[in-house]
Amino acid sequence: MTGDRAEFPANGHLEIACDESGSEGEKLIGGNTDVFAHAGVRLRADSAAECIQETRNRIRSPATEYKANHLLREKHRPVLTWLLGSSGPIYGNAHVYLADKTFFAIGRVVDLLVGRVGSAADGDAHRDGQAQAMAVTLYREGQATFGREQWTAFLESFNDLMRARVSVDSFFQVVDAMSLSGAQGRVGEIMGRLAQARPYADDFRARLLDRPKMAPVLDPLIPAIVQAVVRWGEGGKPVSIVHDEHYTLTQGRIARLQASFVAPHPPGGRLTGLRLVDSRSDPRVQVADFLAGVARKIASDELNDRGDAELVALLRPYVHPSSIWGDARSWSLLGPA
């Protein structure tokens, strides 16, 4: 059940089954999980059903619905290595997009606030590269510069600002205190730029309150779906998605997401439809649920320096190269070779 069992309809239209693990909406800091994972699987329905049945036969649990935690139990390790292995049922027909939630939040700090200040001062040239570099610097040096307590308070305050749970004044009190701490080097420079970003924060907060149902800027689910379309639609191929039901995927957001692919979407891919199903009704989505769940746990363990070398190596071929990840050590093991 490898590549020859994938679904390639005669018209070239692909339907990819997707599910996520670790989603807590826009709560990126201080939640129950530190990694978000979104899996996409390209299998025929009968092949996916065979995969689920084989998994059940190997695990032999009386549970009516199998989840990733069944596969992650040590006694079922051979089943997990079979599922992910090169001779397993999904190898070559699945991918997983990972997001380190803390790095994702810091990237949004830069994108929404610092990046705009830089753009206004320096022009738009190389803005994306500069923003990425600033996000990496803050991620890798912020806590060491300000201490764990102050750095965590800053991230939590920003997270709450973007969720309209604290005022702009409250957030910039934290920023001003950090700016006055005398931090040197690149981190100090970036925080100085952030201290100048008050007008952009005021503008964003006003738009958020005016349009409370606007697309969430801190939820990694939408970027993950975009990357799934880009991954499977390389060269401009049409892709549709069947996705497990998720409260953030409202009909309005699905429509806006689909509209964003009307023009050619670099580097390719066209989203022709996205429909929501109960994962229990579609074995392809159940397989995606397996992959997302085990990927999140394997990646989180590696991020926290307690990784399992064998499982990390098995996961690596599935990891999307555009995953949002700031830790160099763990990414050297998780990221595509």
Q: What pLDDT digit, counting tens, does each position of 45-82 carry?
A: 999 999 999 999 999 887 777 789 899 999 999 999 99
**How buried is residue 335: exposed, middle or buried, by Cβ count under 10 Å (0-12/13-18/19+)?**
middle
pTM listed for this prediction: 0.90
Question: Beta 94-100 vs 238-244: how paired, if at all?
Answer: unpaired
Give residue 12's pLDDT.
59
User: CA end-to-end span of the chain, whole Å?
Assistant: 24
Cα 80 from Cα 74, distance rounded (Å): 9
Give residue 118's pLDDT.
46
**How buried is residue 47: exposed, middle or buried, by Cβ count under 10 Å (0-12/13-18/19+)?**
buried
Amino acid at 138: L
What beta strand segments (E) does the chain contain?
14-21, 35-41, 94-100, 238-244, 270-277
Q: Are 23 and 259 in contact (CB under 8 A)?
A: no
Give residue 37's pLDDT.
98
Per-residue burial over 231-263, b if 16 or more Cβ lie within 10 Å, else e, is bbbeeeebbbbbbbebeebeeebbeebbeebee
317: which DSSP letter? Answer: G
For residue range 278-331, what is the model confidence (pLDDT) as tens digits? 988 999 999 999 999 999 999 999 999 999 999 999 999 999 999 999 999 999
Cα 149 from Cα 154, distance rounded (Å): 9
The stretches in the chain having pLDDT less than 50 are 1-8, 10, 118-127, 265-266
